Structure 1
Amino acid sequence: MEPRTRTALAAVTALLLLAGSAGCTGGADGGVRGTPGAAGLRDPYFPKLGNGGYDVRHYGLKLAYDPASGRLDATADIEARATQDLSAFNLDLDGLTVGRATVDGAPAAVNRAGTELTLRPREDIDEGQVFRTTVAYYGVPRTITDADGAGEGWLRTKDGALALGEPVGSMAWFPGNHHPSDKATYDITLTVPEGLRAISNGVLRGERTANGRTTAVWHSAEPMASYLATAAIGRYRTSTTTTPSGVSVLTAADPAVADESAELLARIPELLEWQQENFGPYPFSATGAIVEPAGDADYALETQTRPVFPLDSFDAPTLVHELAHQWFGDSVSPATWRDMWLNESFATYAEWLYAEDFEDTPARVSFDKAFGEDANWAFPPAEPPKAENLFDPPVYQRGAMVLHKIRETVGDDTFYEILAGWPAKYRHGNASTEDFTAYVEDVAGEDLSALWDVWLYGDDKPERPR
C-alpha cells in the first residue's frame, strides 16, 4: 500500500496455538469433548481479528451485486482443517445478515456478537478433520473508517463498487478468518447487471451474460491473505497481454481515466521483468492493475495479482511499489500486523531501486532524503505505537533505510542475494521480523545486532552516516 497520510512461520504457529489453547476437555466418561475455537488471534494491533481452532484452505465466494440498491446477495463456501477438537468456531463478519449456515451439509446454529459470527455444528469436529462451512448472507455492505481516517471495506462508486481490505475491510463483504496468518486459495464469482464488468484477483476462468446479468469467475490458485482480495465492479475498459516470461496480464480502467492511464499500464510487462531480475521469479500466475477515478479510494493497494490505483496515485513509482508488494506482502505475508514494515520497506526500496536504475538517482540519495525528514523518526519501524500508525512514514521510509543499511553493511552481492532469497524462502507463506533478521544474518554470515538496535528498533535518530 502507498502511505496513507492524508495526502517464521514460527510466529504464525505460535499465534494459532495460542488462540486455540482452549484445547480439549475430558468428559465425565473419560472421553474427549471438543471446545470452541478462540474468537481472535491476539494480534498486537487487532486482538479480535482472526479465529482459532481451524486453518482455512479455500474460499468459494459467489456474490451478486445490485449497484442501484447497494444490495449484495452472497454465499461463502469455506473449506478448512480443524487444528483442535471443535464444538464451535468463529468467523469474522462486519454487518450483513446471515440467512443460513451449514457445516458439512448439516444446519449449524448461528450467533452474532459484533463482528464475531459463532457457528455451532450439529456434531463436534475432530482435530485434523477437513470440514466445509457454507454461509448464505445478504445486505448492504458497509465502508469501514479506519483509525487513521481512511475508508476500506466496500466502497460504492459512481457506477459500481470497489472492495479494499487492508487491514480489516475484507470482513465487510465475506465471512472468514480475516487475519493475514491464515492464507487460502480463492474462487470468486461475481454477478452484476449487464453492461458492467466484475474484476477480481487471479485468472479469469469465464464470463457469460444471460437474462440481463453478467457473471465472471475468477480463480486464485496461490494462497492469499483475505485483506488482499478485491472485487471491482464498473464499466471498465480491459486489456490483456503476456509478459516475456509468460505471466498473464489483465488491466482494467474506468472509462473516465482509461486514456490517461493507458501508457503507464502498458509498462507493466517491462516493470515486472525488471523486478524479476531483482526479486526472483514472479510468485503468481497473473498480474495487472485496476485504475479508478480519483476519489473512488484514498490510496493505492497491492490487492493480489491486480493492485488498485485511484488516478491521482497512479504514477511510475507507485506502480513499482504495488507490483513489488506481490513478492513482499502478498507472497510473503506478515505473521502479525506488527510485521507490516516488512511489506512496506521492501516496496519503498523498490521505488529507490527504480530511481537508481531508470532515473540515475543512487539509492543513497533516496536514503539521505528520507534520513532528513523528521516524520520518519516518529517511532521504530518494527514497533508502531498503535494500529493507526501502521501506515505512517517510519513503516515505509525508515523501513527502507533499514534495508539500505543492510546493503551498505553486507555489500551489493550479498544484498541482492537477500533481496531474491527472502521471498523465495517464505514463498506463499508468512514471516515475522525475527524471521527476517535471522535470515539476513544467516546469509550475511555475521551478527548485525548493532544495525538492528539502531535502525530497526532504536528510538533515537542516529548521527547522519557518511
Structure 2
Amino acid sequence: MSRLIRPYAWFAAFVLVTGAACTGPGDDTRAGRAGARGVGDTLFPGLGNGGYDVAHYDLTLDYVPETNHLKATAVITARATQDLSRFDLDFAGLKVRGVEVDGAKAAFTREKNELVLTPAKTLRKGTVFETTVAYDGTPRMTEDADGGVEGWIETDDGATALGEPTGSMTWFPGNHHPSDKATYDITVSVPKDEDGDPYDVLSNGELVKEEDQGKRVTSHWRTEEPMAGYLANVTVGYFDLHKGRTSQGVPVLVGVDPDEAADSEGVEDLVPEVTDWASERFGPYPFSSVGAVVDHLPGLDYALETQTRPYFDSAPDDTLVVHELAHQWFGNSVTPRRWKDMWLNEGFATYAEWLWQEDHGGRTADEIFDAFYDGSHEESEGIWDFPPGAPPSGPRTSDPPVYGRGAMTLHKVREEIGDEDFFDVVREWTRRYRHKNADTEDFISLCEDVSGEDLSELFDTWLFTKGKPRHPSS
C-alpha cells in the first residue's frame, strides 16, 4: 500500500448485520471437529480460518454497473488439514443462495462476517474438496469513522474491489488471511452501456479470454502464481489500454482512465522501466505479467499493490509507482505470515523509493535516513509512535512507523553489514521465499546467516524498542 495513504484507510469498521440462514443436511456431532475460527493473528483475530488450506478460487461474477448489482459463484478448492466436520469462510454482506461441498448440499449459517458450513459428511484429513457458494446482492463498501474505505467501491464509471486488509471478504467468500495464498480464475461478465459500448474489465494476472456476446462482454483472468486474498482486484470502467514488454520480455498492461490520461502521460513507459530496475536490485520479477490501473476515484487517497497490476486512484508520481511495484517482490511474492510482519512489506517498499532516488540522481539513502531521523523529511511525522515490528493494533499497521522506521531499520542493516551482504540478503530473501509466506524471525535469521554477524541488538533497537533510538551521526 502507498505510504501516502491516510492512516485509517486500511482498516474499516465492519458493522454488518446478516440474518441467519440454514439449508440442507448437517450434524455437528459427527466424527471430526470444526475448523478454528480465525488463525490466531493477534492484530486481526477474526481473519482466516483453520482446518483447511485453499489451493484455488474460481470466481464467476456477473456485474451490472448501473445498479451496482453482483451475482456470483465461488468455487473453492481446498485440502482438509484435519478431520473436518464444519468450517468457516470469511464473508461479509451479500445474500447466499446455496452452498455445496463436493456436489452435495451443505448446511450453512451466517454469523457476522463468517459463513459457517456443515458438509453432508465429515471431510477426512488430507482430502481435497470443492466448495461452491452461489450469492448475489449489492456488495459492501466498508467505511470507518474517518471516512477511509475498502471493499467493493463504486467509481464514476464502474467499480473497483480493494481488499487490504479485510475488504476482499465483501465480494467473495474465502480464507482471507495472508497466510493462505491460492491461485485464481476470475471471470467477469458485464452488460454493455446504454450506447452499446463495452466496459473494460481489468484484474490480476493474464487475460485468458474475452468474449463479446452481443449485449455483454465476458472477460476471464487467471493468476497462476499464489496470491493472498487482499491482493485480488477487479476493476470495471473505461480505460485507455497500453500494452508492451519489459526488457526481460515480461508482458505489460497498463489501463488509464481517460480523465487521468493527461496527468499520467508516460506511466506506460515508467512501469517497465521500474520493473527492470527493481529486477536488478531485488532479483528476477516474480510474476508472469506486470502493469497498473490508473483510475479516477477522487477522495480515495491511497494506492494499493494489487498483484501484478497495482491500483492507483489517480495519476501517480514516480516514487509511488516505485513503491507499489516494489511490493510485487515484498508483500505479494514474499507475503507476511502475520499482520504484525507488515513492516517487511512497507519498509522494503519505502526503502525501494530511497534506492530509486539514490540511483537516479536524487538524495542518497543516507541523506533520506538523516532527514527522517531529524524530522525534516515531509513523511517523518509520527515515525516514533511505536516500534514497527510491534504495531499495537490492526488499524495501526498503516501508520508511519511501519513505513518510515521500517525503511530506517533496513538502512541500519545495510550500514552494519555492508552493501554486498545487504543486497545478497535482499536477493536471497526474494528467492528463498518466492510465492511463500515469511516473517520477521525469518528475515533476521537470513541477515545473520549471510553476514555472519549477531544483529540482535540492531533489530531490538530499531525494530522493537519504543521511542527514538540514538543515532551516532546525529
TM-score using structure 2 length: 0.91
Within the alignment, does 1:225 sit opposite 2:232 as a pair? Answer: no
In the alignment, is the contact (CA less than 8 A) between 1:146 and 1:388 conserved in 2? no
In the alignment, is the contact (CA less than 8 A) between 1:148 and 1:388 conserved in 2? no
Q: In the alignment, what sits opposite 1:423?
A: 430
How far has the Cα of 1:170 moved from its partner? 0.2
Q: In the alignment, what sits opposite 2:19?
A: none
Pairwise mapping of residues 35-46 of structure 1 onto structure 2 (< 5 A)? 35-46=33-44
How far has the Cα of 1:420 moved from its partner? 1.1
Is the alpha carbon distance of 1:425 and 1:380 closer, same or farther for their aligned partners in structure 2, counting shifts above 3 Å? same
Match of 1:33 among 25, 31, 34: 31
Within the alignment, does 1:371 sit opposite 2:365 as a pair? Answer: no
* Runs of at least 4 residues off by over 4 Å: 146-149
Q: Distance in 1 between matches of 2:304 and 2:146?
A: 16
Within the alignment, does 1:295 sit opposite 2:293 as a pair? Answer: no
Deviations 1:58-80 (A, max 9, x none): 00000011111111000000000
In the alignment, is the contact (CA less than 8 A) between 2:242 and 2:268 conserved in 1? no
In the alignment, is the contact (CA less than 8 A) between 2:256 and 2:294 conserved in 1? yes
Match of 1:238 among 227, 241, 244: 241
Within the alignment, does 1:2 sit opposite 2:2 as a pair? Answer: yes
Q: Distance in 2 between matches of 1:256 and 1:387?
A: 34
In the alignment, is the contact (CA less than 8 A) between 2:156 and 2:297 conserved in 1? no
Within the alignment, does 1:404 sit opposite 2:402 as a pair? Answer: no
Opposite residue 121 of structure 2, the aligned amino acid is E
Q: In the alignment, what sits opposite 2:16?
A: none
Match of 1:382 among 378, 384, 389: 389
Match of 1:89 among 87, 94, 101: 87
In the alignment, is the contact (CA less than 8 A) between 2:6 and 2:301 conserved in 1? no
Q: Distance in 2 between matches of 1:96 and 1:365?
A: 50
Q: In the alignment, what sits opposite 1:444?
A: 451
How far has the Cα of 1:384 moved from its partner? 1.0
Could you tell me which runs of 5 or more consecutive residues in structure 1 were left unpaired when the two chains were aligned.
8-26
Q: In the alignment, what sits opposite 2:107?
A: 109
In the alignment, is the contact (CA less than 8 A) between 2:155 and 2:296 conserved in 1? no
SS of corresponding position for 2:431:
helix
Match of 1:361 among 360, 363, 368: 363
How far has the Cα of 1:439 moved from its partner? 1.1
Q: In the alignment, what sits opposite 2:14?
A: none
Opposite residue 124 of structure 1, the aligned amino acid is T
How far has the Cα of 1:316 moved from its partner? 0.3
Opposite residue 117 of structure 2, the aligned amino acid is L
How far has the Cα of 1:300 moved from its partner? 0.4
Q: In the alignment, what sits opposite 2:260?
A: 257
SS of corresponding position for 1:376:
coil
Q: In the alignment, what sits opposite 1:332?
A: 334
SS of corresponding position for 1:266:
helix
Match of 1:156 among 140, 154, 161: 154
Q: Distance in 1 between matches of 2:428 and 2:437?
A: 15
How far has the Cα of 1:297 moved from its partner? 2.8
Match of 1:199 among 188, 198, 202: 202
Q: In the alignment, what sits opposite 1:189?
A: 187
What is the number of equivalent residue pairs in this alignment? 443
Q: In the alignment, what sits opposite 1:12?
A: none
How far has the Cα of 1:371 moved from its partner? 1.2
In the alignment, is the contact (CA less than 8 A) between 2:385 and 2:467 conserved in 1? no
SS of corresponding position for 1:454:
helix
Opposite residue 391 of structure 1, the aligned amino acid is S
How far has the Cα of 1:289 moved from its partner? 0.1
How far has the Cα of 1:294 moved from its partner? 4.3
Within the alignment, does 1:62 sit opposite 2:65 as a pair? Answer: no
Q: Percent of aligned positions with the same letter in both sequences?
A: 53
SS of corresponding position for 2:266:
helix
Q: Distance in 1 between matches of 2:254 and 2:113?
A: 34
In the alignment, is the contact (CA less than 8 A) between 2:7 and 2:398 conserved in 1? no
Q: In the alignment, what sits opposite 1:24?
A: none
Q: Distance in 2 between matches of 1:253 and 1:98?
A: 34
Could you tell me which runs of 5 or more consecutive residues in structure 2 were left unpaired when the two chains were aligned.
9-27, 193-197, 376-380
Q: In the alignment, what sits opposite 2:401?
A: 394
Q: Distance in 1 between matches of 2:131 and 2:262?
A: 44
Q: Which moved more, 1:357-366 or 1:254-263?
A: 254-263
SS of corresponding position for 1:33:
coil
In the alignment, is the contact (CA less than 8 A) between 2:7 and 2:396 conserved in 1? no
Q: In the alignment, what sits opposite 1:176?
A: 174
Q: Distance in 2 between matches of 1:65 and 1:294?
A: 19
Q: Distance in 2 between matches of 1:214 and 1:298?
A: 31
Opposite residue 454 of structure 1, the aligned amino acid is T
Q: Distance in 1 between matches of 2:336 and 2:453?
A: 25
Q: In the alignment, what sits opposite 1:19?
A: none
Within the alignment, does 1:118 sit opposite 2:127 as a pair? Answer: no
Q: Which moved more, 1:171-180 or 1:259-268?
A: 259-268
In the alignment, is the contact (CA less than 8 A) between 1:148 and 1:389 conserved in 2? no
RMSD: 1.6
Q: In the alignment, what sits opposite 2:280?
A: 277
